[in-house]
């Protein structure tokens, strides 16, 4: 996620409003991997540093990310409301309001013919915890953590900003173990949707606790029907991904690679005994590949995967911490090749050992960054303890990070690419 390094319980819901409709013929993937339909621009979201809690983000459209500066003081587009989450697809930038359990607003932005970022529509639906591109849609899932056992799935036509279908699903029945399935994310794999989930109690003053800390599950749904076709299980890791965190990625061969942070808890204490690792589901298979296991915790010297960006060709940028469930302390970054199981720490980032001001406090690693068209670079917003915020360019081949665009007075919350 736009990794503001705060307790996980801070973000316990996401409200999305989808009402007015507009059309667009432009298309691009959320990671910018499709050929540009025109000239590129980059959307930066930033939250003012030192502002009162609940202050809205500002949006900026910039021509390049490698140098220069922008400021939240007097510049940018101030959004309505606060606590925003972002996803880009179909050459549109969707800004989803976190409604703290209540309905909120999702504003859709696009670039006009002059390259200016403009509003194009608003949506409305229930509070959701999953929002992922699938084909030309956005798949939204409301996952109740207690009470009602029914998850609500919505298909949104991202080109026309219309709800095109919905489905209810019993997550207690899905778990089948006396707990409930809580989807961590959803990923298109071929013509299916793979939805990893945590098994959580959903009660008893231990909502996100579990009696099953060393198992992982992936629900497989048909698309667009959203009918459950099966559940893929494994006992070599803990659950895949994390709350609001994508942990499963499809490669160019149609195989799915998934990481576990090994961070399941009971009563607030970490109870996972399996390591933080990557596992694989081969193309067309309905089970985990038992011949494949990449123990990242071991090769990193004990670090846990927190979030990841997929470059392509089996290579990932990993954001990691020395302890499970860590959202404080300085993050470390690595390049991992899930094919060769090569692992390299990234150099060129602020060094927390040189100064406490260099401790990384916020990043955009999880879903809020994009990969270059050639698959060699990704761009991540990083804010340090002293309030300095820059976009860093990560090079997959050299495992280096280079400081670029500075955002003055703001915590970077998203870095995305559109074209016009």
Cα–Cα distance for residue pair 283/173, rounded to 1 Å: 27
Domain segments of the chain: what residues? 3-419
The one-character DSSP state at 245 is B
The pLDDT profile of the chain, 420 residues, written as one tens digit per residue, is 444 443 333 333 444 433 333 333 333 334 433 444 689 999 999 999 876 666 789 999 999 999 999 999 888 999 877 778 899 999 999 988 877 667 767 789 999 999 999 998 887 777 788 999 999 999 999 898 999 999 999 999 999 888 899 999 999 999 999 999 999 999 999 999 999 999 999 999 999 999 999 999 999 999 999 999 999 999 999 999 999 899 999 999 999 999 999 999 999 999 999 999 999 999 999 999 999 999 999 999 999 999 999 999 999 999 999 887 666 567 899 999 999 999 999 999 998 777 778 888 889 998 889 999 999 999 999 999 999 999 999 999 999 999 999 999 999 999 999 999
Cα–Cα distance for residue pair 321/335, rounded to 1 Å: 14
| Residue 34, pLDDT score | 41
Summarised one tens digit per residue, pLDDT across range 168-206 is 999 999 999 999 999 999 999 999 999 999 999 999 999
Q: Measure CA 99 to chain center.
A: 18
Does CATH place domain 3-419 in 2.40.30.200?
no
Strand-pair partners of 71: 408
Q: Note whether 259 and 308 are within 8 A (CB).
A: yes
Beta-sheet pairing, 84-89 with 77-78: unpaired
- Token pair 């503001």 is found at 4
Instruction: Give the tokens for residue 46.
Output: 């930033």
- Sort residue 371 into left (φ over 0), alpha (ψ -120 to 50) or beta: beta
Verify cis geometry, omega within 30 degrees of 0, for the bond prior to 224. yes
Cα–Cα distance for residue pair 221/15, rounded to 1 Å: 24
Q: Note whether 40 and 148 are within 8 A (CB).
A: no
Cα–Cα distance for residue pair 202/129, rounded to 1 Å: 15
Nearest to 137 by CA among 85, 203, 89: 89
């Amino acid at each position: 996620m736009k990794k503001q390094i705060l307790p996980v319980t801070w973000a316990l819901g996401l409200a999305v409003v989808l009402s007015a409709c507009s059309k667009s013929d432009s298309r691009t993937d959320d990671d910018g991997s499709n050929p540009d339909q025109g000239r590129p621009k980059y959307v930066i979201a930033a939250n003012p540093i030192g502002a009162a809690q609940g202050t809205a983000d500002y949006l900026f459209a910039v021509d390049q990310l490698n140098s220069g500066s922008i400021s939240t003081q007097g510049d940018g587009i101030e959004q309505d409301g606060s606590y925003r989450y972002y996803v880009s697809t179909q050459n549109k930038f969707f800004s989803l309001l976190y409604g703290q359990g209540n309905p909120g607003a999702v504003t859709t932005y696009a670039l006009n013919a002059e390259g200016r970022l403009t509003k194009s529509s608003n949506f409305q639906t229930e509070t959701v915890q999953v929002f992922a591109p699938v084909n030309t849609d956005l798949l939204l899932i409301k996952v109740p953590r207690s009470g009602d056992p029914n998850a609500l799935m919505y298909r949104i036509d991202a080109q026309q900003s219309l709800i095109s279908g919905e489905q209810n699903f019993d997550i207690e029945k899905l778990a089948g173990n006396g707990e409930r399935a809580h989807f961590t994310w959803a990923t298109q794999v071929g013509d299916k949707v793979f939805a990893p989930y945590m098994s959580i109690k959903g009660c008893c003053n231990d909502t996100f606790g579990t009696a099953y800390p060393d198992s992982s599950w992936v629900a497989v749904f048909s698309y667009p029907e959203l009918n459950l076709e099966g559940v893929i299980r494994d006992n070599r890791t803990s659950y895949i991904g994390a709350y609001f965190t994508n942990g499963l990625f499809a490669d160019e061969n149609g195989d799915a690679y998934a990481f576990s942070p090994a961070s399941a808890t009971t009563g607030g204490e970490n109870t996972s005994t399996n390591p933080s690792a990557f596992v694989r589901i081969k193309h067309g298979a309905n089970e985990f590949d038992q011949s494949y296991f990449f123990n990242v915790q071991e090769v990193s010297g004990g670090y846990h995967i927190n979030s990841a960006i997929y470059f392509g060709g089996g290579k990932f940028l990993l954001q990691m911490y020395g302890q499970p469930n860590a959202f404080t302390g300085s993050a470390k970054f690595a390049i991992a090749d899930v094919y060769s199981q090569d692992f390299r720490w990234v150099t060129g980032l602020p060094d927390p050992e040189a100064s406490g001001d260099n401790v990384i406090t916020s990043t955009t690693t999880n879903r809020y960054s994009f990969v270059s068209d050639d698959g060699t670079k990704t761009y991540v917003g990083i804010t340090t303890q002293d309030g300095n915020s820059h976009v860093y360019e990560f090079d997959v081949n050299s495992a280096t990070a280079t400081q670029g665009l500075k955002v003055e007075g703001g915590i970077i919350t998203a870095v995305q690419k559109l074209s016009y």
